[in-house]
């Protein structure tokens, strides 16, 4: 099986595995207690916090660990809105943000707040001018923008948005889930969220960083853990492994990013040449190094993924119009691109040229067979 779904979750990095196994033995105790084993766990936790802080460009006391990237986003969005209630109730966000941002916005709306969604170009990039205009309107409490899109890979204009937010006196939450460990963290964020399993750490660890001076109040019942930001017992071994993986991925990022980007360029060029009626979506240049998405007309995404799975490829889709949702991806809809037969290929660390050769060899016949079964020739 060729695993090509790193945007969903990256396989555990060897550095994370080694750190996890060591920390299970050394860091199992309650880091809030005062005896020796607890102090050892506390030391491991704070060392990991310092390492993550250094790698994302934060102070250690600004960083908290959550149980997931989604929880980090929910706490980041709702906590900043709660802390800035006197400043206003407007939330500004891009149309292609991760569902965790949009769902937090819906909760805010149900509580009487307002969410303004800024549109994107056909490549999935937020209109920086429209974003700046929206942020400057009176009563804006928070703006949210991802570093890069999780479905099509397009990089967002974070630094331009950060300048606009700074001029308007509005904090900017940046969701770095897809880019942390792969690309440098952009400057100018007020609140930063990320997810360890996206960079090769274990699942169950998210990062929430809140800059000093940003008003933030927990939307959850108070708990003394994680600077009173995140309730519940810290998973110290997983946090240690997450920090080790982020360090290792960051050191590899430049060379591995170049290698994976060349493989993605090949997929972007070859798929439309080999398969008729295909649209490759997302920005061809301003993009993540490891991710490419394309859509095939006259093909159901679910059928395509099933056939690719049978052929030995694990990929995902943003257009799963399944019986449970009956809706295509909100990202592809916002971009105004083809939503049928959508395939997202996202290359993990170590993905081989042979995997891509084989993928390009089997894809045309799979698409042809699915189209033939529907009477499309």
Q: What is the pTM of this model?
A: 0.95
What pLDDT, on the 0 to 100 scale, is given for residue 325?
52
Q: What is the pLDDT of residue 328?
A: 78
Q: What token pair was written down for 30?
A: 């309650």
130: phi then psi, degrees, rounded to nearest 5: -65, -35
Residues of the chain with pLDDT > 70, as a percent, come to: 97
Q: What is the pLDDT of residues 276-320, one digit of tens each?
A: 999 999 999 999 999 999 999 999 888 999 999 999 999 998 754
Q: What is the pLDDT of residue 322?
A: 43
Both tokens of 83, joined, read 């802390």
What pLDDT shows up at residue 134? 98
Going from the C-alpha of 362 to that of each of 124, 339, 373, 374, the distances in angstroms are 28, 22, 17, 19
Task: Please report, to the nearest 10 degrees, the dihedral formed by the alpha carbons of residues 60, 62, 67, 73 taken in order.
Answer: -140
Q: Which two tokens stand for residue 375?
A: 């009477």
Q: What was the pLDDT predicted at 320?
A: 46
Decide if 228 contacts 247 (C-beta within 8 A). Answer: no
Residue 61: count of CB within 10 angstroms of its CB: 12
Close Cβ partners of 231 (under 8 Å, ≥ 6 residues apart): 220, 221, 222, 223, 225
288 contacts 155 by C-beta, under 8 angstroms: yes
Q: What is the pLDDT at residue 226?
A: 86
Distance CA 64, CA 326 (A): 37
Query: What is the structure's pLDDT at 293?
Result: 96
| pLDDT at residue 148 in the model | 98
For 244-347, list the strands marked E by DSSP.
278-281, 291-296, 313-314, 342-346
Catalytic residue among 144, 165, 296, 321: 321
Model confidence pLDDT, tens digit, residues 140-190: 999 999 999 999 999 999 999 999 999 999 999 999 999 999 999 999 999
CA-CA distances (angstroms) from residue 7 to 131, 150, 195, 343?
A: 26, 7, 11, 12
| Domains along the chain with CATH numbers | 14-248 (3.40.640.10), 253-373 (3.90.1150.10)
321 counts as catalytic = yes
pLDDT at 205: 98
pLDDT score at 270: 98
Query: How many angstroms separate the Cα of 84 from the Cα of each of 75, 238, 251, 345, 346?
Result: 14, 32, 37, 39, 37
**Positions of the chain with pLDDT lower than 70, given as ranges:** 319-327, 377
Task: Tell me the C-alpha to C-alpha distance, in Å, between residue 332 and each of 162, 298, 328, 336, 344.
Answer: 25, 16, 7, 6, 12
What secondary structure letter does DSSP report for 186?
Answer: P
pLDDT of residue 376: 76
Mean pLDDT of the chain: 95
**DSSP letters along 335-359, please?**
HT---TTEEEEEPPTT--HHHHHHH
């Amino acid at each position: 099986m060729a695993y090509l779904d790193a945007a969903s979750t990256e396989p555990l990095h060897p550095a994370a595995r080694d750190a996890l196994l060591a920390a299970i033995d050394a860091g199992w105790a309650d880091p809030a207690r005062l005896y020796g084993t607890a102090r050892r766990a506390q030391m491991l936790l704070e060392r990991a916090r310092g390492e993550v802080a250094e790698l994302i460009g934060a102070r250690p006391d600004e960083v908290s660990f959550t149980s997931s990237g989604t929880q980090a986003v929910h706490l980041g969005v709702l906590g900043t809105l709660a802390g800035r209630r006197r400043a206003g109730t407007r939330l500004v966000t891009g149309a292609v943000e991760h569902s965790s941002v949009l769902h937090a916005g819906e909760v805010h709306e149900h509580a009487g707040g307002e969410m303004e969604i800024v549109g994107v170009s056909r490549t999935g990039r937020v209109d920086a001018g429209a974003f700046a205009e929206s942020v400057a309107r009176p009563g804006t409490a928070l703006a949210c923008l991802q570093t890069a899109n999780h479905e099509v890979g397009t990089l967002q204009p974070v630094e331009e948005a950060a300048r606009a937010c700074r001029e308007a006196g509005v904090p900017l939450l940046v969701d770095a889930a897809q880019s942390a460990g792969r690309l440098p963290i952009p400057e100018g964020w007020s609140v930063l969220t990320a997810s360890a399993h996206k960079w090769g750490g274990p699942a169950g660890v998210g990062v929430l960083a809140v800059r000093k001076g940003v008003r933030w109040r927990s939307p959850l019942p108070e708990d003394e853990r994680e600077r009173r930001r995140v309730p519940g017992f810290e998973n110290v071994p997983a946090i240690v492994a997450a920090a080790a993986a982020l360090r290792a991925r960051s050191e590899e990022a430049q060379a591995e990013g170049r290698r994976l980007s060349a493989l993605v360029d090949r997929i972007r060029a070859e798929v439309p040449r080999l398969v008729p009626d295909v649209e490759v979506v997302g920005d061809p240049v301003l993009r993540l190094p490891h991710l490419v998405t394309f859509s095939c007309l006259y093909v159901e995404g679910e059928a395509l993924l099933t056939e690719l799975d049978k052929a030995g490829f694990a990929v995902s889709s943003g257009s799963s119009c399944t019986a449970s949702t009956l809706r295509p991806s909100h990202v592809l809809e916002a971009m105004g691109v083809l939503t049928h037969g959508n395939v997202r290929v996202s290359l993990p660390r170590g993905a081989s040229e042979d995997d891509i050769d084989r993928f390009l060899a089997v894809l045309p016949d799979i698409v042809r067979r699915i189209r033939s079964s529907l009477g499309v020739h």
